[in-house]
Structure 1
Amino acid sequence: MASGKSTVGPLLADRLGYRFVDLDWLVEAQTGRSVPDLFAEGEGVFRAAEATALRETTGGQGLVVSTGGGTLVTPQNLVVARGAGPIVWLRASVPVVLARVGDTEGRPMLAGRDGRPLRDEALRSRVADLLAAREPFYAQADLVVDADAEADVVARDAAEALARWRRGPAA
């Protein structure tokens, strides 16, 4: 969340000559409902739609797919994504995520039990807790790219890391 996936993804796709797909946008297009509306019925409803969209995108060639922050926490989704190609973790620090997230309206994972957006220390704590809980899953990525930099720098670094990954270990 707020690591820059939706900004870096298209830049990376351009560098690679690929198409870009944002999984959240695809879920909304396929269901005709917004992510917050799906979450309102329960996180499981959203996650099921997300898993379907992920399976449908991974059969394609020449795609950069931006997954939601919790997509790869589901073991089946991680297996599906890994089968499609390298997984790149855009690792952003808590301060950077907080700076980027801005208005948390429409971000169900950053809402309190009352559904209202979290603010200040409650928001910082939720972001830190989410990142800590997801890190063991993210750490299974093939590549880790520091996402605290500007989007064009992150896209360049990701493209370079992918090129090194494709070449394999030095002989």
Structure 2
Amino acid sequence: MAILKPEELKEKFDDPWIAPYEKVITMADGDIVELIEYHPCPSGSNWLLYQYQHSSELIIDAKRDGNKHTYLCKVGKKPIDLKASINAAGIEEVAIDEEAKEVKVTHGGLAGAGVGAGMCRGMGEGVKYVDVLEVGGGSKEGKATVVTPKYEKLVIGIDDTDVKDA
């Protein structure tokens, strides 16, 4: 439908009910993607995490710490069966474009969750662009692919057991 960059989304959708995400980061290792999102509304975070975990077969694990959501996802495509209040939002597809070094996550949702699928996430720091597939809102499904740079996670551990006074 439309490919929009974060600044274009901010100009086009300045409605008060659209709350931009603060930041979106994706890290990939083989066919596993860790998606980290900083949600703009901590009080709505529990609802969103619950919906995503129960609607999306691609999500292996999901956690929340304040407004930070962390989803561990499998690469693949699994349609979500959206139902109001029961399965209102989720991730339908996770893909890695190795050539472009991008991760593409397709979100879908009903009503406000559909709007948040693309417009709200798409305004976040770290987003390259959003492919809005269906605008959504009300009882209609919203669907968008959020495209971010592909990062890799590096974990460093320090062993201080050889220090006399440790």
Tell whether the structures are fold-level matches, with TM greater than 0.5: no
Larger strand share, 1 or 2 = 2
Q: Which has the larger radius of gyration?
A: 2
